[in-house]
């Protein structure tokens, strides 16, 4: 009888010791604290949680307040008056406009950013540094400074206002999509594409069946950032759109600058907060397709 | 032979074609927008009349200095608060405890909120008949003027709130994958918690903290809607001033608005250059 | 194993660890004693708990049960930085924001020593790993081997009572590994720390350690000298884990083991009953046999009942035919069919044996060992 060799060779083994444990997991003494340190830690956690949560409080309270006279600490009557007023102000249409605008911006800025990131991460672009600076510059650019000039430029070029809004928002979103895709491509292993090609796949097939599925999670994150740019914008839609495109932030601004329509502002604001949160939840749940480190 | 020679060049052309679709809209908006604004500010693009080069818009615009100082003040204070809160938030999130997870979820939620919505909520929260005043039972006349008051409290609070979440997420993004192993290494070398924070976590986070703070600062300096909704009417920050002039009926106001925009651009550029110099120094000792 | 007069450098008492309630336990009541100034290797297959032991000693993981003592002091409840150990990981993990010198000075700086003083001491430790000329370089500018040298210097600069190394050189090229082993030897000559390291490389274990701990499924199988774990394994599992290829189940009767390869006399007092005969393939050689006698047979040249006669009798010999041959560097490994069994051997020097050749296999008396069946 011969015993087969079970070598003590363990290249695949590390996975077991490093099974994706986070620092705070049970049994990790480094991030556990005791005594006074523990009390301080809980206190600071609570304070920071309060800091981030507090601005959401008036939205929730006012959204369902039909009657809330001043001295009362909490709404006296709850109901859907705020919702009714918000819809009467054109909230429904504005919501749809916002959604359409953000989706269009994401649909354009994401592939543009991904393509630029792909080329830049391979270092084959002439003037790569200058192009990187240019693509990043909209983040630092005060939107009103660009918009004042652009407004004149786009009017003289007969660009329809809505197209102008999309153009400017795409330019503002491109830094986010480009740089999040660049991070993804920095970690991307070209070996997968090469392996597919050596297995007989055409470049088109490799793109659709190998490349895109592997970078899909990063594309989703980029698209989310571009969506947020469109969804959050107020000034560009106001000035470049010139009133032709009424989005949710425009309605919120006109309601909030008035007096006495708190519950309508709260409902509109809540409806502007919830869609990104849903998308965020979806993205957080979709896990990276992690091919692992294959050496 | 020719095929081999032309290969790298073709690859270069392909790369350029991949970059171009992103470069074109950005170039139109950045170069076109800034260029037109600068041309307008110099009186070369008046709504009526003949173009004539002049810098009098920069002298003739009243209160430009006080507005610039106000804008800078708001940006400095809110970015400083955001940087400190953001860094400690990131440390909490990275520690990975249940508290860190809650803070992580809340700060991610804050990042997705549009600034205008944040401003509306902060207004509902902090005004003299706001939610906090009601919860504490303080009558409007005794409540401090946080909204539209002389301290610009509500404006700074909104910026600090949103940007602290942004800064925290940027730091977490760059540290999350590698901080645990460095933290453990420092611990087995005998460094206690305070020393690890000072000698390991802070220096490793510093470059991304600087970059994120610079982005937050530039945003705050150029942002309009928060100061417009929650601020005082006089003096006004640069962005509010520029938009008021832009929308005013006066024909001379357009070049003045453009001049305000150019001032803001220059301030932003100066801050970005300073930050890049700082970043280079940081990288130098890396 | 523990001497009364000497306090062990590391003592683990029934240390148990499981990562979750569903997963199998990573460590089952491990007891371990490491004497000061020794170097010990922990070997075992993936998931055997090797690294977990190191992390528990370092304080990077809490054990679910059991105690950890360092030099007699119970450190079970202490944080890593309070234990007086230091650890080198598989990745060098040099702090990217510090120079090479400041990395080595880190432990002193963290302990509140002035920068100048910390750097002075760091320089001495850098010299110890022959990296003195790289002091002002950034870690990123070094090669992997140089980085790991600095990581070792940094760990030594913390003046640990115990130095833990978690697969420290497994990412390096074979030639570099040899240099690292020489470096560890010179460090041991200079400062003599207690060393406990994890490796998956049997050669590295024997090159750097006097003693080996064999671990499987969270259980300690054997803790003994290098020679003993290789040649006198405590169990079939240990023999298998250390790359032993020859194991023949059988029965011991009156000092002679009977199995598929025939009857083999065993040295020493081996009792009687069921037992498995093991021997290292590196210790047995095959030589070409000029086939004059008949068929291959499980013919034992000189079976002898008297075990004590081992030395006198010289090597035992088996006859067989080569069924497989693999060249490994200068050595040629053979599989020889002996009766119904395959025996793994090496070709004796000068024997260019190939498949089909009739051979004689010599079993030196000292190489033979039996483990419980």
pLDDT band at B79 (very low <50, low <70, confident <90, very high): very high
CA A202 centroid distance within chain: 33
Helix (H) or strand (E) holding A66: strand A65-67
Judge whether C24 lies within some domain: yes
Q: What is each CA distance from C353 to A168, C282, C316, C326, C364, in whole angstroms? A: 78, 16, 20, 10, 20
- Say if residues B136 and B130 touch (Cβ distance below 8 Å): no
Over residues A133-167, the pLDDT tens digits come to 999 999 988 988 888 888 888 888 888 999 999 99
Is position A110 within any domain? yes
C192 & C277 share domain? no
The predicted structure's pLDDT at residue A74: 72
- Whether residues C173 and C309 share a domain: the answer is no
Contacts of A273 in chain B (CB under 8 A): 109, 112-113, 117
Task: Specify if C237 maps to a domain.
Answer: no
SS3 call for A67: strand
- Distance, in Å, from the CA atom of A104 to the CA atom of A81, rounded to the nearest integer, reads 32
- C42 and C156 in a single domain? The answer is yes
Calpha distance C363→A21 (Å, rounded): 49
Alpha-carbon distance of A123 to C98, in angstroms, equals 28
Q: What are phi and psi of C178, to 5 degrees?
A: -60, -40
Q: How confident is the model at residue A259 (pLDDT cuts 50, 70, 90)?
A: confident
Q: Is beta strand C211-216 parallel, antiparallel or unpaired with respect to C39-43? A: parallel
Give me the phi and psi of C345, to 5 degrees please.
-140, 180
Spacing of C-alpha B179 from chain mean position: 26
pLDDT at residue C309, rounded to an integer? 52
Whether the CB of A29 is below 8 Å from some CB of chain C: the reply is yes
Name the least confident of B40-49, C147-156, C300-309: C300-309
* Residue B80 clears pLDDT 90, i.e. is over it: yes
Name which of B235, B209, B241, B239 is nearest B83 in CA terms: B209
Using the Cβ of A68 and the Cβ atoms of chain B, whether some distance falls under 8 Å is answered with yes
Which residues of C lie closer than 8 Å to B, measured between beta carbons? 58-60, 79-82, 84-87, 89, 91, 93, 95-99, 106-107, 109-111, 138, 140, 154-155, 158, 164
Question: Alpha-carbon distance A119 to C310, whole Å?
Answer: 74
Q: Is residue A44 part of a domain?
A: no
pLDDT at position C329: 83
Chains with 3+ CB–CB pairs under 8 A to C are: A, B
Domain B73-238 belongs to what architecture?
Orthogonal Bundle (1.10)
**Residue range(s) defining the domain that contains residue C188:** 10-231
Do C88 and C44 sit in the same domain of this protein? Answer: yes
Give exposure, A143-171, as e/b (b: 16+ Cβ within 10 Å).
bbbbbbbbbbbbeeeebebbebbbbbbbb
Predicted confidence (pLDDT) per residue in C61-71, tens digit: 888 889 999 98
CATH of the domain at A215: 1.10.3720.10
- In this predicted structure, the answer to whether residue B154 has a pLDDT above a threshold of 70 is yes
Taking residues A6-24, report their average pLDDT: 39
Residue keyed to tokens 């804050």: B110
CB-CB under 8 Å, C107 with B191: yes
What is the mean predicted confidence (pLDDT) over A60-79?
Answer: 74
State the pLDDT confidence band at A193, using cuts at 50, 70 and 90: confident
The conformational region for residue C339 under phi > 0 = left, psi -120 to 50 = alpha, else beta, is left
Q: Which pLDDT score is estimated for A21?
A: 46
- Count of structural domains within chain A: 1
Least CB–CB distance from B182: residue in C81, C93, C154? C93
Q: b or e along B126-151 (b: 16 or more beta carbons within 10 Å of the residue's beta carbon)? A: bbbebbbbbeeeeeeeebeebbbbee
Residues C360 and C224 occupy one common structural domain: no
**Rg over CA atoms, chain C:** 25
Residues 6 or more apart whose CB falls under 8 angstroms from that of B9 comprise: none
Q: How far is Cα C228 from Cα B62, in angstroms, rounded to an integer?
A: 92
Q: How confident is the model at residue A201 (pLDDT cuts 50, 70, 90)?
A: confident
The answer on pLDDT for C3 being more than 50 is no
Mean pLDDT value across chain C: 85
A282 located within any domain:
no
The 8-class DSSP code of residue B139 comes to: -
Predicted pLDDT at C21: 67
**B8: how many CB neighbours lie within 10 A of its CB?**
10
Instruction: Tell me the sheet residues that pair with C211.
Output: C40, C225
Tell me the two tokens of residue C105. Answer: 């000075």
Q: How confident is the model at residue A28 (pLDDT cuts 50, 70, 90)?
A: low
- Which residues in chain B touch residue A42, judged by CB atoms under 8 angstroms apart? 99
Residue C68 sits at φ, ψ, to 5 deg, of -120, 125
User: Quick one: pLDDT at residue A162?
Assistant: 92
Residue C4 has pLDDT above 60, yes or no: no
Asked whether residue A121 carries a pLDDT value surpassing 70, the answer given is yes
Give the model's confidence band at B66: pLDDT under 50 very low, under 70 low, under 90 confident, else very high.
confident
Claim to verify: residue C226 and residue C279 sit in the same structural domain: no
Q: Is C329 left (phi over 0), alpha (psi -120 to 50) or beta?
A: left
pLDDT for res A19: 41
The confidence score (pLDDT) of residue A25 equals 52
What's the rounded mean pLDDT across residues C12-19?
Answer: 89
Q: How far apart are CA C110 and CA B200, in angstroms?
A: 10
For residue C2, is it within any domain? no
Query: By residue range, what is the domain housing residue A214?
Result: 103-246
Q: What is the pLDDT of residue B13?
A: 80
- Is the pLDDT score of C265 beyond 50? yes
> What ipTM was reported for this prediction?
0.88
The ranges assigned to domains in chain B are 73-238
A13–chain C Cβ distance below 8 A for any pair: yes
Query: C315 in a domain, yes or no?
Result: yes
Residue B47 is predicted with a pLDDT of: 64
| Distance, CA of C238 to CA of C221 (rounded, Å) | 7
8 A C-beta contact, residue C314 and residue C337: no
State the pLDDT at residue A231: 96
Does residue C233 have a pLDDT over 70? yes
We report the CATH number of the domain holding residue C101 as 3.40.50.300
Torsion of Cα atoms, B184 then B187 then B193 then B198, to 10°: -80
pLDDT digits (tens, 9 = 90+) for C246-260: 999 988 887 788 888
- Mean of all residue pLDDT scores within chain A: 81
Distance CA C317, CA C301 (A): 6
pTM of the model: 0.80
How many percent of chain A have pLDDT more than 70? 83
Q: Decide if C341 is inside a domain.
A: yes
Residue C45 sits in the same domain as residue C106:
yes
Binned at pLDDT 50, 70 and 90, residue A32 comes out as low
Query: Coil, helix or strand for A77?
Result: strand
Q: Which residues of A touch C59 (CB under 8 A)?
A: 29
- B94 φ/ψ sector (left φ>0, alpha ψ -120 to 50, else beta): alpha
> C71 and C197, same structural domain?
yes
Instruction: Verify whether the Cβ–Cβ distance A19 to C19 is below 8 Å.
Output: yes
Q: Which two tokens stand for residue B28?
A: 């139109």
Q: How many domains does chain C have?
A: 2
CA gap A182, A116 in Å, rounded: 9
Q: Is A27 on the interface with B (CB under 8 A)?
A: no
According to DSSP, residue A187 is labeled S
Question: A109-113, A175-179, A188-192, C62-66: which range is least confident on average?
Answer: A188-192
**Cross-chain residue pair B242–A135, CB shorter than 8 Å:** no
Residues C17 and C160 placed together within one structural domain of the fold: yes
- The answer to whether A110 faces chain B, any CB pair under 8 Å, is no
Please state, in angstroms and as integers, the Cα–Cα distance from residue A166 to each residue in A109, A172, A232, A273, B167, following that order: 10, 10, 13, 21, 27
Q: How far apart are CA B221 and CA B219, in angstroms?
A: 5
- C138 → chain B, closest CA residue: B286
User: 3-class secondary structure for chain C?
Assistant: CCCCCCCCCEEEEEEEECCCCCCCCCEEEEEEEECCCCEEEEECCCCCCHHHHHHHHHCCCCCCEEEEEECCEECCCCCHHHCCEEEECCCCCCCCCCCHHHHHCHHHHHCCCCHHHHHHHHHHHHHHCCCHHHCCCCHHHCCHHHHHHHHHHHHHHCCCCEEEEECCCCCCCHHHHHHHHHHHHHHHHHHCCEEEEECCCHHHHHHHCCEEEEEECCEEEEEEEHHHHHHCCCCHHHHHHCCCCEEEEEEEECCEEEECCEEEECCCCCCCEEEEEEECHHHCEEEECCCCCCCCCCCCCCCCCCHHHHHHHCCEEEEEEEEEEEEECCEEEEEEEECCEEEEEEECCCCCCCCCCEEEEEECHHHCEEEEC
Could you give the CA distance from residue B211 to residue B190 in angstroms, rounded to a whole number?
A: 31
CA distances from A182 to A178, A186, B259 (A): 6, 6, 36
Do C110 and C79 touch, CB atoms closer than 8 A?
Answer: no
Give A21's DSSP letter.
-
The answer as to whether C30 is a domain residue is yes
Where is the domain boundary, C231, C265, C288? C231
Between chain B and chain C, how many beta carbons pairs sit less than 8 Å apart?
78
Give the Cα-Cα-Cα angle A87, A89, A94 (nearest 5 degrees): 75
- C139 in Cβ contact with C75 (< 8 Å): no
Residue A6 has pLDDT above 60, yes or no: no
**Percent of chain A surpassing pLDDT 90:** 39
Is the pLDDT reported for residue C363 higher than 90?
Answer: no
Task: Encode pLDDT of C166-203 as tens digits.
Answer: 999 988 888 899 999 999 999 999 888 999 999 988 88
From the list B27, B109, B124, the residue facing A265 with the nearest CB is B124
Q: What pLDDT shows up at residue B98?
A: 84
Query: What is the rounded distance in angstroms from the CA atom of residue B190 to the CA atom of residue C79?
Result: 9
Q: Would you say residue C48 has pLDDT above 70?
A: yes
Give yes or no for residue B193 having a pLDDT over 60: yes
Joined tokens for residue C276 = 């498995």
Identify whether A229 is part of a domain: yes
Percent of chain C predicted with pLDDT > 90 = 43
Residue B178: pLDDT over 50: yes
Count of CB atoms within 10 A of residue A50's CB?
Answer: 11
């Amino acid at each position: 009888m011969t015993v087969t060799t079970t070598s003590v060779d363990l290249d695949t083994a590390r996975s077991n010791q490093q099974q994706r444990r986070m620092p705070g997991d049970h049994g990790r003494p480094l991030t556990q604290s005791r005594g006074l340190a523990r009390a301080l830690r809980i206190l600071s956690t609570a304070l920071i949680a309060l800091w981030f949560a507090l601005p959401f409080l008036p939205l929730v309270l006012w959204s369902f307040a039909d009657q809330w006279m001043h001295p009362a600490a909490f709404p006296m009557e709850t109901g859907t008056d705020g919702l009714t007023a918000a819809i009467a102000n054109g909230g429904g249409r504005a919501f749809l406009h916002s959604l359409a605008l953000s989706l269009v911006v994401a649909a354009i800025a994401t592939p543009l950013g991904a393509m630029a990131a792909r080329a830049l991460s391979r270092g084959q672009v002439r003037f790569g540094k200058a192009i990187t600076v240019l693509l990043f510059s909209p983040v630092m650019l005060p939107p009103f400074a660009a918009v004042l000039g652009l407004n004149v430029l786009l009017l003289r070029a007969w660009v329809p206002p809505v197209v102008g809004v999309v153009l400017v928002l795409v330019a503002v979103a491109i830094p986010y999509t480009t740089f999040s895709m660049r991070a993804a491509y920095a970690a991307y292993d070209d070996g997968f594409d090469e392996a597919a090609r050596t297995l007989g796949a055409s470049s088109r097939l490799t793109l659709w069946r190998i490349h895109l599925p592997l970078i899909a999670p990063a594309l989703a994150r980029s698209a989310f950032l571009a969506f947020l740019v469109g969804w959050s914008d107020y000034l560009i839609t106001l000035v470049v759109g010139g009133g032709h495109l009424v989005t949710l932030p425009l309605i919120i601004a006109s309601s909030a600058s008035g007096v006495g329509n708190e519950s309508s502002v709260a409902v509109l604001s809540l409806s502007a907060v919830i869609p990104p949160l849903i998308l965020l939840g979806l993205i957080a749940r979709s896990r990276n397709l992690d091919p692992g480190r294959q050496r | 032979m020719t095929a081999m020679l032309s290969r790298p060049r073709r690859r270069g052309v392909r790369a350029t074609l991949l970059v171009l679709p992103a470069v074109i809209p950005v170039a139109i908006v950045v170069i076109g927008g800034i260029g037109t604004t600068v041309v307008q500010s110099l009186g070369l693009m008046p709504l009526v009349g003949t173009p004539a080069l002049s810098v009098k818009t920069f002298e003739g615009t009243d209160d430009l200095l006080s507005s610039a100082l106000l804008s800078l003040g708001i940006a400095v204070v809110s970015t400083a608060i955001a940087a400190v809160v953001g860094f400690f938030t990131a440390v909490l999130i990275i520690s990975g405890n249940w508290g860190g997870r809650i803070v992580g979820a809340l700060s991610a939620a804050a990042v997705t909120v549009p600034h205008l919505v944040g401003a509306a909520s902060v207004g509902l929260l902090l005004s003299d008949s706001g939610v906090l005043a009601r919860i504490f039972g303080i009558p409007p006349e005794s409540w401090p003027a946080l909204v539209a008051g002389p301290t610009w409290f509500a404006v700074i609070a909104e910026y600090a709130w949103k940007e602290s979440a942004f800064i925290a997420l940027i730091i977490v993004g760059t540290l999350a994958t590698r901080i645990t192993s460095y933290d453990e290494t420092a611990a087995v070398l005998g460094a206690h918690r305070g020393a690890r924070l000072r000698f390991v976590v802070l220096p490793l986070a510093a470059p991304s903290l600087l970059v994120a703070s610079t982005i937050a600062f530039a945003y705050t300096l150029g942002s309009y809607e928060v100061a417009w909704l929650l601020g005082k009417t006089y003096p006004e920050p640069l962005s509010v001033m520029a938009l008021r002039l832009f929308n005013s009926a006066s024909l001379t106001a357009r070049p003045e608005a453009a001049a305000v925009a150019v001032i803001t651009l220059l301030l932003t550029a100066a801050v970005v250059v300073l930050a890049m110099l700082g970043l280079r120094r940081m990288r130098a000792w890396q | 194993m523990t001497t009364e007069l000497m306090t062990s450098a590391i003592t683990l008492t029934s240390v148990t660890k499981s990562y979750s309630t569903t997963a199998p336990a990573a460590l089952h009541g491990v007891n371990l004693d490491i004497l000061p100034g020794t170097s010990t290797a922990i070997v075992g297959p993936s998931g055997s708990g090797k690294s977990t032991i190191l992390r528990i000693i370092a304080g990077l993981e809490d054990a679910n049960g059991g105690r950890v003592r360092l030099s007699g002091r119970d450190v079970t409840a202490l944080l890593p930085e309070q234990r007086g150990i230091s650890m080198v990981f598989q990745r060098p993990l040099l702090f990217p924001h510090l120079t090479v010198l400041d990395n080595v000075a880190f432990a002193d700086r963290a302990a509140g020593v002035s920068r100048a003083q910390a750097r002075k001491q760091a320089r001495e430790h850098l010299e110890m790993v022959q990296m003195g000329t790289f002091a002002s370089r950034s870690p990123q500018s070094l090669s992997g081997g140089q980085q790991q040298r600095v990581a070792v210097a940094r760990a030594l600069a913390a003046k640990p009572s115990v130095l833990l190394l978690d697969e420290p050189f497994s990412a390096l090229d074979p030639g570099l590994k040899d240099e690292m082993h020489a470096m560890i030897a010179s460090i041991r000559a200079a400062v003599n720390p207690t060393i406990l390291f994890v490796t998956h490389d049997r050669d590295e274990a024997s090159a750097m350690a006097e003693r080996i701990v064999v671990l499987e499924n969270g259980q300690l199988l054997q803790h003994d000298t290098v020679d003993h774990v290789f040649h006198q394994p405590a169990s079939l599992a240990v023999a298998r884990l250390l790359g032993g290829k020859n194991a023949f189940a059988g029965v011991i009767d009156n000092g002679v083991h009977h199995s598929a390869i025939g009857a083999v006399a065993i040295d020493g007092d081996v009792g009687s009953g069921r037992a498995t005969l093991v021997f290292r393939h590196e210790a047995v050689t095959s030589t070409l046999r000029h086939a004059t006698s008949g068929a291959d047979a499980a013919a034992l040249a000189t079976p002898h009942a008297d075990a004590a006669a081992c030395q006198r009798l010289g090597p035992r010999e088996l006859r067989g035919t080569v069924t497989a041959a693999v060249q490994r560097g200068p050595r040629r490994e053979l599989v020889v069919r002996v009766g119904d069994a395959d025996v793994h051997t090496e070709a004796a020097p000068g024997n260019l044996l190939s498949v089909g050749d009739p051979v004689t296999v010599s079993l030196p008396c000292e190489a033979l060992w039996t483990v419980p069946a």
